[in-house]
Amino acid sequence: MNNIMLTGEKQVGKSTIINKIIRTHPGHAYGFQTLPDKETKQFYIQSMNGEYSKAYICKRNGNDRFIGLIHAFNDQGVSILKDCLKKSPDLIIMDELGIFENDAYQFHKYVHQCLYSPIPVLGVLKGKSSLFLDSIRNRMDTEVHTVTIENRNQVYKVVKNAMHN
């Protein structure tokens, strides 16, 4: 299997598994992470090597709910994924794919181009259903592992074995 996606509830260790894989990966990993900004309580996308400045991927609307900022995905997200395809790392990281990018169709295109590439992809899929997320879940070349607190060490071992072989 070329691509592995992790899914599961919040705070069960999905990104921790990815970070452990990156630390032990014998080659070069490149991609993006979506991270919380503790100051603004928003989320941003950032390339793994810090090559790009952080770009906020959501903002709060009048009802104090988050809405996705499509331009962040279609600009910065696409640039990072184009770099992944151009630089040809040994492993592409996509941590995390969620619902903020539901309408970021350029971003979707490059996510799928990376998944179709010969470079293995390791990522996190939000545990919600959407056309975009389901299109990844239903790919024949992608394994999806549900991470729980109880199985996270076992999932790490499965992913490590798959990525290091």
Q: Which domains does the chain have, with CATH numbers?
A: 3-163 (3.40.50.300)
φ and ψ of 40, to 5 deg: -95, -10
Confidence of residue 140 (pLDDT cuts 50, 70, 90): very high
Cα separation, 105 vs 35, whole angstroms: 21
What is the DSSP secondary structure assignment for residue 62, as one 8-state letter?
T
The pLDDT > 70 percentage for the chain reads 99
Mean per-residue pLDDT of the chain? 94
- Taking residues 21-36, what's their average pLDDT? 93
Contact 124, 14 (CB under 8 A): yes
Amino acid at site 12: V
pLDDT digits (tens, 9 = 90+) for 53-102: 889 999 888 888 899 999 999 999 999 999 999 999 999 999 999 999 99
Radius of gyration of the chain, Cα coordinates, nearest whole angstrom: 15
Cα separation, 89 vs 96, whole angstroms: 18
Q: What's residue 125's pLDDT? A: 97
Whether the upstream peptide bond of residue 96 has omega within 30° of 0, thus cis, is yes
Whether the upstream peptide bond of residue 39 has omega within 30° of 0, thus cis, is no
What is the DSSP secondary structure assignment for residue 100, as one 8-state letter?
T
